[in-house]
Each structure stands twice: as structure tokens, then as C-alpha cells.
Amino acid sequence: MNSKGHLTRMLSPDASGAASLPRPGHDQKKAKSAKVSLITYRVVVYIVLGILTFLCLFPFYILLVNSTHSHVEITSRFNWWFGTSFAANWQDLMDDANVPILRSTFNSIWLSLLNATITVYFSALTAYGVHIYDFKGKHFVEVFILAIMMIPSQVSTMSLVIYCIEHGLTNNWLILILPTVASPVVYFYMKQYLESILPYEIVEAARVDGTSEFGIFHKIVLPIIKPALAVQFIFAYVSNWNNYFTPSMLLDKDEYMTIPLILSRLSDNSNPSNFNMGKVYICMTMAVLPVVVVYFIFSKAIIKNLTAGSVKG
């Protein structure tokens, strides 16, 4: 009698009108539908990412392809595959006395590396000082630096150019290096990063252990903010590498030329008798390649920095 009552309760519908017995076929169908939806979603995402990747890399591929074709081949048709004129284009570039490509590449590399290092280091040092220390006028300093960010860089650059011309300071590396010490944008980024990742207790513990203030910054703070340093180093490097506005008004000698100035010379040379698009594409390849190398060196640090805020523990 008890077993019959138990069976009756199992078969009777519940308050919603549905039977109480489990339905394995329905659950399997629901799980299969969810799996198909997940697979479809992933396929769509991968297709979109593949298209975006193709659109990003295709211009670089065409740049490399055109650097191996002659001027006639480039101007007469669209080239999908590599040609056989790379050596001729390279020799034409090397023989052009008006385009010191090797010297300008060396100038751009060391100048960009030095300026990026100075920018990142002093911006991080300034951000650390403003973040850790309490001093009179701290709020004013923060507001003043943020206000400078609102001023277009061309405005301050014109004042610098006028000063340098009046005092005969053109064709001088220091004029391009010293202004990079102050970078309000990099400072603001570093300060926000320090506020989110650097506890004040670590600094206090290091002081108790007898570590100097600069020792705390170099031995403790810099390793902690290494991902942020890598990100800002790449941005500063690319910014200095592509800088054309300031050097074009302060540099006019070949030994001081940088890559952007050389590219402008090639574009200004419109004489049909000696103009070679293959040479232009090789020069652009040399202008892009160092930036790509620097990015790949610091790419892991960029990924780590982007995911640091979304992972806890």
C-alpha cells in the first residue's frame, strides 16, 4: 500500500501542471542545443577575428611585396606576390646621396630608445613622488599637470622652436632629448597604475628596513610596475619614431636626419626620370620594421598589463 501511494505521488503533476518524473531526453536535447550554440558563437567570433587580423596585416604584406617589384610593375598593376627587383631597389636607395637611409635609421633608433627610456623613467618617478608623499601644494601640482595635458603639443613646440632659432640651438640632439623628460600623459597613466597596485605598507616596510627612498623606487616600485613601464615604453618609442613636426623645424643637416624626414624627401622627389616607387617601399619597410620588433619584444608585458585588472588572486 505504501509503495502504491509513493508511485502515485511520483506520477501526479506538481503545482505547475508538469509531471515530477525526470525527462532525460529533454535534458540531453537542451545540452546538445547549448553545445551547438556555443560552437556557433565561437565560429563567428573566430571568423570576425580572422577578418580583422587580415585587414591589419594585409597592408604590411603589400608593403613587403611592393618592395620587391620595380617602379613599372608597381604603377602598372596590383602585385599579389613577391618579385625579383629587391636588390635593384636596394641598390638604388643606397646610391641616392640625398637619402642617407642607414644614417637616419641609426639616428631614429637610438634617439627613440633614449627618449622613450627617459620619458618612462622620469614620469614613473614623478608619479611615485606625487602618489606616496604628502606635501603642501600637492593638489595644485596634480591639477597643473593635468591642465598641461589639455594644451596641444604644437603650441609648446612652436615656442621651443622660436627659442632655439633665436639662440642658435638648431641641429642639436639635446633639443630633441630634454623635452621628453616631462610627459604629462605618461605621468597620469603611471599615477593611476600606482594607485591601483602599490600599497603604502610596502613602502613603509622598506623604510623600516633601512632602504633609501631611491632604493625603494628602483628595487621595489619599478619591478611592481614593470607591465605599465613596458606599455608606455612602446607608446613613447612609437611617438618619438614617428615624430616629424619638431625635427623638421630644428634639423636640416644630413647627419641629424631621422626616418620621417627621409620619407618626406622621397615623397618630395617627383622627378619622373629618377623616381622609383620600389625604393620608396623599401624605405617605408625600414621605417616600420624596428617598431614591429620593439612591439614583439614587449608584447607579453602588454598582454599581462591588459589582463592584470580582470584577474584577482
pLDDT at residue 310, rounded to an integer: 44
One-letter amino acid identity for 187?
Y
Q: What is the pTM of this model?
A: 0.76
Q: Please give the C-alpha separations between residue 110 and each of 75, 103, 226, 257, 282, in angstroms, as whole numbers.
A: 35, 11, 22, 12, 21
Q: Walk along the chain (313 residues) and give the pLDDT tens digit of each residue.
A: 454 454 455 444 544 444 455 555 667 777 777 888 888 889 999 999 999 999 988 988 998 888 888 888 888 888 888 888 888 888 888 877 777 888 888 999 999 999 999 999 999 999 998 888 888 888 888 888 888 888 877 777 888 888 888 888 888 888 888 888 888 889 988 988 888 888 888 888 888 888 888 888 998 898 888 888 888 898 899 889 988 888 888 888 888 888 888 888 776 655 666 677 888 888 888 888 888 888 887 777 666 655 554 444 4
Read off φ and ψ for residue 19, nearest 5 degrees.
-70, 150
Burial of 247 per CB tally in 10 Å (0-12, 13-18, 19+): buried
Q: Grid coordinates standing for 192?
A: 593611476
